[in-house]
Chains A and B, each alone.
Chain A
Amino acid sequence: MREAVMTAVSLPRSPSRGPLNATHWLALLFLAVALVFAAVAWTTGNGFYLRLATEALIFAGLAMSVDLLLGYTGLLSLGQALYFGLGAYVSALVLRDGAPSFWLATGAALAAGALAGLVGGVIANRVKGVYFALITFGLAQVVAKAVYNTRELGASDGIIGIPQIRVTLGPLALDTADPLSFFLFVLGLTMAVYAGLAYLMDAPFGRTLAAIRANEKRVPFLGFNAWGHKLAVYVLAACVAALSGALYPMLRGFVSPELLFFHTSGNAVVTVIVGGVGTLIGPIAGSVLLTALRSVVGSWTEHHLIVVGVIFMLSVIFLRKGLVGALLPWLERRAAARARHGRRSAP
Chain B
Amino acid sequence: MTAFPRTATPALSVRDLSVNFGGLQAVAGVGFEAERGRITSVIGPNGAGKSTLFNLISGAIRPTGGRVTLDGADVTGRSPDRMLAGGLARSFQITNLFFELPVLENLRIAAQILETPWRAVLPLGRSRKALVKADALLERFGLTAKADALAGNLSHGEQRRLEIAVALACEPRVLLLDEPTQGMSHGDTADTGELIKSLAGDLTVLLIEHDIGLVMSLSDHVVVMAQGRKIAEGAPAAVRANPAVQAAYFGHA
User: B113-148 interface mask toward A, CB cutoff 8 Å, 1 = contact, 0 = none?
Assistant: 101000111111101101111111001100000011
Query: Is residue B89 contacting chain A, with contact meaning CB distance below 8 A?
Result: yes
Decide if B121 touches A205 in the complex (CB within 8 Å).
Answer: yes
Decide if B170 touches A222 in the complex (CB within 8 Å).
Answer: yes
Decide if A14 touches B125 in the complex (CB within 8 Å).
Answer: yes
User: A203-239 interface mask toward B, CB cutoff 8 Å, 1 = contact, 0 = none?
Assistant: 1110110110011011011111110000000000000
Q: Closest residue to A213 on the B side, CB-wise?
A: B100
Query: Is residue B32 contacting chain A, with contact meaning CB distance below 8 A?
Result: no
Decide if A12 touches B132 in the complex (CB within 8 Å).
Answer: yes
Decide if B98 touches A215 in the complex (CB within 8 Å).
Answer: yes
Query: Is residue B112 contacting chain A, with contact meaning CB distance below 8 A?
Result: yes
Query: Is residue A339 contacting chain B, with contact meaning CB distance below 8 A?
Result: no
Decide if A211 touches B120 in the complex (CB within 8 Å).
Answer: no
Decide if A14 touches B140 in the complex (CB within 8 Å).
Answer: no
Interface size bracket, A side? 20 to 34
- Residues of B with C-beta under 8 A to A15: 102, 104-105, 108, 124, 131, 134
Q: Which of B89, B101, B130 contacts A214 (CB 8 A)?
A: B101
Please give the number of chain B residues whose Cβ is less than 8 angstroms from any Cβ of chain A in the complex.
Answer: 51
Decide if A202 touches B124 in the complex (CB within 8 Å).
Answer: yes
Decide if A200 touches B121 in the complex (CB within 8 Å).
Answer: yes
Decide if A223 touches B104 in the complex (CB within 8 Å).
Answer: no
- Residues of A with C-beta under 8 A to B17: none
Q: Which of B101, B113, B123 contacts A222 (CB 8 A)?
A: B113
With A and B bound together, what is the CA distance between A210 and B108 in angstroms? Answer: 12
With A and B bound together, what is the CA distance between A207 and B100 in angstroms? Answer: 12
Q: Which of B79, B90, B97 contacts A215 (CB 8 A)?
A: B97
Decide if B131 touches A13 in the complex (CB within 8 Å).
Answer: yes
Interface window among A1-9, A146-154, A163-171: A1-9
Query: Is residue A44 contacting chain B, with contact meaning CB distance below 8 A?
Result: no
CB-CB under 8 A for A207 and B109, given A2-B136, A12-B135: yes
Decide if B98 touches A218 in the complex (CB within 8 Å).
Answer: yes
Q: Which of A9, A218, A220 contacts B97 (CB 8 A)?
A: A218
Query: Is residue B215 contacting chain A, with contact meaning CB distance below 8 A?
Result: no
Decide if B132 touches A214 in the complex (CB within 8 Å).
Answer: no
Query: Is residue A299 contacting chain B, with contact meaning CB distance below 8 A?
Result: no
CB-CB under 8 A for A16 and B102, given A220-B81, A222-B84, A222-B170: yes
Decide if A218 touches B112 in the complex (CB within 8 Å).
Answer: no
Residues of B within 8 A of A (CB): 58-60, 79-81, 84-85, 89-90, 92, 96-102, 104-105, 108-110, 112-113, 115, 119-125, 127-128, 130-136, 139-140, 147-148, 166-167, 169-170, 202
Residues of A within 8 A of B (CB): 2, 5-6, 9, 12-16, 199-200, 202-205, 207-208, 210-211, 214-215, 217-218, 220-226
Would you mind naming 24 contact pairs between A and B with Cβ atoms under 8 Å apart?
Answer: A5-B139, A5-B140, A6-B133, A13-B131, A203-B123, A204-B119, A204-B120, A204-B122, A204-B124, A207-B112, A211-B109, A214-B100, A215-B98, A217-B96, A218-B92, A218-B97, A221-B84, A221-B167, A222-B81, A222-B113, A222-B170, A223-B113, A224-B81, A225-B79
